[in-house]
């Protein structure tokens, strides 16, 4: 058996579902349904999402973050506003997100615009974080160049002493909400003939269509 034949035999296929008929007119409801299924099937990190921003010049950058809340209005994450993603969304609020749930052979792509959430909501979320994460939000100047690990640990020690009891939320840290204007629901299918159903915002409604795999 040559290597090419072996690769054909070893190649995994997608057999866990299909998306032939969509009964949802609201993609956020379908999103919520898929997300809940990912949780129930014990998918690894179902709230992990690839978050892609772009500079004013259109240069993209991606990283994995955690979705912390799913609302009717959109997806909420938390971050340092002075990080690379934080500064890029000020220049260009258009972002893209990608969820992938291997256990369901599904992914969801969404695009939209991002903005800061109400500071009071950020306060409540920050107050519920573990203390070490609260201190880390002060100590880490996210995305900036640092000389070594020791310099970061020194900053951690400094803020541990500065805030011996309650740790306030840093003004440069808080929540973002992505308000979607486009969704693509992808269901893996046999022979790479995947189902891809899209929703695109049109004023107050959603246009729905299928695209080729």
Active site annotation includes 11? no
Q: How far is 182 from 180, CA to CA, in rounded Å?
A: 6
Pairwise CA distance, residues 17 & 102, whole Å: 12
Say which of 131, 192, 196, 210 is annotated catalytic.
192
Distances (CA, A) of 159 to 79, 128, 148, 153: 19, 18, 18, 10
* Separation CA 19–CA 188 (nearest Å): 9
- Please state, in angstroms and as integers, the Cα–Cα distance from residue 166 to each residue in 119, 123, 126, 174, following that order: 18, 12, 11, 17
- Spatial CA neighbour of 84 closest among 149, 141, 169: 141
DSSP state of 170: P
Minimal CA–CA distance to 33: which of 93, 83, 106? 106
CB 143 within 8 A of CB 84: yes
Distances (CA, A) of 163 to 69, 78, 89, 125, 129: 28, 21, 30, 18, 15
Q: Which residues are catalytic?
A: 192
């Amino acid at each position: 058996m040559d290597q090419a034949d072996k690769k054909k035999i070893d190649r995994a296929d997608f057999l866990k579902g299909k998306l032939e008929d969509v009964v949802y007119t609201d993609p956020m409801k379908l999103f919520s349904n898929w997300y809940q299924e990912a949780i129930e099937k014990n998918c690894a990190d179902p709230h992990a999402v690839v978050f892609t921003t772009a500079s004013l010049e259109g240069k993209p950058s991606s990283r994995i973050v955690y979705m912390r809340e799913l609302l009717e209005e959109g997806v909420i994450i938390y971050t340092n506003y002075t990080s690379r993603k934080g500064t890029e969304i000020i220049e260009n609020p258009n972002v893209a997100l990608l969820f992938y749930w291997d256990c369901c052979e599904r992914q969801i792509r969404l695009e939209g615009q991002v903005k800061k959430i109400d500071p009071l909501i950020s306060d409540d979320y920050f107050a519920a974080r573990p203390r070490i994460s609260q201190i880390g939000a002060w100590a880490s100047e996210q995305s900036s160049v640092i000389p070594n690990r020791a310099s970061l640990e020194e900053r951690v020690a400094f803020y541990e002493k500065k805030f011996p009891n309650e740790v306030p939320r840093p003004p440069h840290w808080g929540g973002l909400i992505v308000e979607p204007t486009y969704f693509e629901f992808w269901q893996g299918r046999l022979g790479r003939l995947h189902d891809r159903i899209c929703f695109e915002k049109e004023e107050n409604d959603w246009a729905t269509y299928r695209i080729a795999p």
